[in-house]
Amino acid sequence: MSSYSRILLNTVALVPGATSLPPIRSLLKRRVATQGTKSAVYCYGVWLRHLVMAAGCRLDSNPAAVAELGPGDSLGTGLAALLCGAQRYTALDAAPYANPQANAKIFDELVELFRARAPIPNRDEYLAVKPRLEDYAFPHHVLGVARLERALRPERLERIRGAILGEHADPRTPMIRYRAPWQEANVIEPASQDLVFSQAVLEHVDALREAYAAMRAWLKPGGYLSHQIDFKSHGYAPTWDGHWRYGDFVWRLVRGPASWFINRQPYSAHQRLLAASGFRIVHEQRARSVPSFARGALARRFRGMPEADRETSGVYILAVPARA
Ligand SMILES: C[S@@+](CC[C@H](N)C(=O)[O-])C[C@H]1O[C@@H](n2cnc3c(N)ncnc32)[C@H](O)[C@@H]1O
């Protein structure tokens, strides 16, 4: 749906009683976006991208406790982490999009992909998935024979399957936790996670400062963040950077009553918040795009945007707690 249709629909929805009319209700319902994690191949590729990038920067490539923000339609990306040997996976989302049946199906497909040591998908619909890697062959250097054999033992697979279906051997230490929605940082114990990651999520989080502070609290010493962030307009403006042209009033109409949307924060905002929350960036991979309009057309709140932000359409970052 274009930004103009959204503005129209959201303006109509403001009229008292309009949202109870069936056509308006169904239009509002229809625009709830579906997420990519319905596909096991996508989840496999996303997890292996994060793992390979971390290994390339000599960060822990066998994290035991892994947390993910915004898994979307399934927990598949975190299930891929468990299939590589992680012991605990915690997923936090804005709403409960995933369900145990879909997760179980994706899990079975993931097991086959790991057994086959399938290459990391990077063609057709996966061409645009980031971060970009130098090599898309199966990462034998990270997932050696012994590690994968241990991780894919039949009794371990049964345990993960049980956890997917909500059966926990010891409910005090569940292998999988899913909190959706989540609000407070105390949803995860302090200093308990080796890795916190996300894919195409941090551009949607409204309370970004709080989210980074929470991530800092969750990480163990030696833990790290791995995030892929997309700064483009997600189709809510005619050009990739057009969302930075809208003033606050129009943007409120584009957003409407959505419980989460895009936060329009450019890369420098993430850099600032990372530093303020006590992180040091150890690696970044920026996607650059040519600005589609002159600086003078930026909305007032973005006038001071650094030139580098204007051409940063996405970024992959690895960050670690900064030394005190
Ligand atoms: C574009 S989807 C990405 C889903 C998935 N990570 C993928 O790779 O396809 C954005 C996700 O961010 C989630 N999200 C939005 N705000 C969030 C928040 N404050 N905390 C956690 N997740 C959030 C949404 O619910 C949704 O699942």
Nearest residue CA, atom 1 of ligand 1?
Answer: 200
Instruction: Tell me the pLDDT of the chain averaged across its residues.
Output: 93
Note the pLDDT tens digit of each residue in 143-167.
Answer: 999 999 999 999 999 999 999 999 8
Three-state SS annotation for 113-135: HHHCCCCCCCCHHHCCCCCCCCC
Do the Cβ atoms of 101 and 154 come closer than 8 Å? no
Question: Which of 251, 266, 246 is CA-nearest to residue 314?
Answer: 266
Confidence band for 27, pLDDT divided at 50, 70 and 90: low
Q: Residue 262 has which token pair?
A: 């895009």
Confidence band for 13, pLDDT divided at 50, 70 and 90: confident
Residue 241 CA to residue 237 CA, distance in Å, equals 8
Q: Residue 116 has which token pair?
A: 């086959």
Distance 123 CA to ligand 1 centre (A): 24
Do the Cβ atoms of 80 and 47 come closer than 8 Å? yes
pLDDT value of residue 11: 77
Do the Cβ atoms of 226 and 195 come closer than 8 Å? yes
Residues with CB under 6 A from ligand 1: 35-37, 46, 69-72, 92-95, 97, 199-201, 204-205, 260
Number of Cβ atoms within 10 Å of the Cβ of 241 = 23
Pocket test for ligand 1, best of 97, 201, 262 (most atoms within 8 A of CB): 201
Note the pLDDT tens digit of each residue in 178-203.
Answer: 999 999 999 999 999 999 999 999 99
Nearest residue CA, atom 11 of ligand 1?
Answer: 70
Nearest residue CA, atom 24 of ligand 1?
Answer: 70
Confidence band for 299, pLDDT divided at 50, 70 and 90: very high
Three-state SS annotation for the chain: CCHHHHHHHHHHHHCCCHHHCHHHHHHHHHCCCCCHHHCHHHHHHHHHHHHHHHHHCCCCCCCCEEEEECCCCCCHHHHHHHHCCCCEEEEECCCCCCCHHHHHHHHHHHHHHHHCCCCCCCCHHHCCCCCCCCCCCCCCCCCCHHHHHHHCCHHHHHHHHHHHCCCCCCCCCCCEEEECCCCCHHHCCCCCEEEEEEECCCCCCCCHHHHHHHHHHHEEEEEEEEEEEECCCCCCCCCCCHHHCCCHHHHHHHHCCCCCCCCCCCHHHHHHHHHHCCEEEEEEEEEECCCCCCHHHCCHHHCCCCHHHHCEEEEEEEEEECCC
pLDDT value of residue 141: 98
Distance 19 CA to ligand 1 centre (A): 25
CA of 92, closest atom in ligand 1: 21
CA of 70, closest atom in ligand 1: 22
Q: Residue 282 has which token pair?
A: 């150890």
Confidence band for 32, pLDDT divided at 50, 70 and 90: low
CA of 207, closest atom in ligand 1: 19
pLDDT value of residue 104: 97
Confidence band for 29, pLDDT divided at 50, 70 and 90: low
Nearest residue CA, atom 3 of ligand 1?
Answer: 200
Nearest residue CA, atom 27 of ligand 1?
Answer: 72
Q: Residue 39 has which token pair?
A: 């596909």
Distance 42 CA to ligand 1 centre (A): 15
Distance 155 CA to ligand 1 centre (A): 32
Pocket test for ligand 1, best of 32, 35, 50, 199 (most atoms within 8 A of CB): 35
Note the pLDDT tens digit of each residue in 33-83.
Answer: 456 789 999 999 999 999 999 999 999 999 999 999 999 999 999 999 999
CA of 206, closest atom in ligand 1: 19
Place of tokens 């629909």: 9
Pocket test for ligand 1, best of 66, 68, 204 (most atoms within 8 A of CB): 204
pLDDT greater than 80 at residue 14: no
Question: Which of 231, 210, 176, 185 is CA-nearest to residue 65?
Answer: 176
**Percent of residues, the chain, with pLDDT higher than 70:** 94
Note the pLDDT tens digit of each residue in 104-123.
Answer: 999 999 999 999 999 999 99
Q: Which of 36-40, 126-130, 133-137, 318-322 has the lowest mean pLDDT?
A: 36-40
CA of 182, closest atom in ligand 1: 20
